[in-house]
Amino acid sequence: MKIILNRSGMTILETIIVLIIGGLIISGIWVTYSEMSLNDKIRRTVNAIDKTTAKTRDFLSARTTVPADLSVRMHDQNLMPAELTFKSTAGNISTYTSPLSNDFYVTANITSDRMFFVRVAFKRGSRECQRLAPIMLGTDRGMNERGIVGYSLGTLIVGEQTNIPRRTITPADLLQQCPLSSAIGFYFAVRP
């Protein structure tokens, strides 16, 4: 029996180990990139909501009522923020695409002249809902600063537009409502 001492190259086992380690490194990079990308989309969506709210309040400051075609008028006067991309106008609503790559619009609230409604769509069952909702609705202070008087998420409708008192969203609400939802709606006071 001959023993070969001068071998060159890698064995199959060594090749498999190198491929596994390389795969782990690449998957770690991919997960990190995905998280950073989602965080950026959420940040830009929150900015779009805040800018839309501010511009809507400015637009409504000289008016005594919220016009039914609020969305179309804001579009016609180029008041929607740069984070949004115009998609289409149908009836009284001009729809935009948000940084989450789904529909976004602002409209009059038909039940009250004291508020307007901003709707942000997202992919059903995605983590977008679980990230966006707590930022916007997680604390009373944050809701007060933004002038949020109510919200709708799935079957949960809370705030001034109903007779259910406004409250912050809870982790239990998120677990129950986010998997079923494809959009979140925010009711904002015209004058906070």
Boundaries of every domain in the chain? 12-189
Q: Is the pLDDT of residue 168 over 70?
A: yes
pLDDT of residue 119: 92
Rounded average pLDDT over 124-151: 88
The mean pLDDT of the chain is: 87
Q: pLDDT above 90 covers what percent of the chain?
A: 33
Rounded average pLDDT over 3-11: 67
pLDDT of residue 66: 84
Q: Render pLDDT for 42-74 as a digit per residue (tens, 0 to 9).
A: 999 999 999 999 999 999 888 888 888 899 999
Reported pTM? 0.81
Q: Is the pLDDT of residue 5 over 70?
A: no
pLDDT of residue 8: 66
pLDDT of residue 180: 86
**CB 161, CB 151: distance < 8 Å:** no
pLDDT of residue 55: 93
pLDDT of residue 4: 58
**CB 71, CB 107: distance < 8 Å:** yes
Q: Which CATH superfamily hosts domain 12-189?
A: TcpA-like pilin (3.30.1690.10)
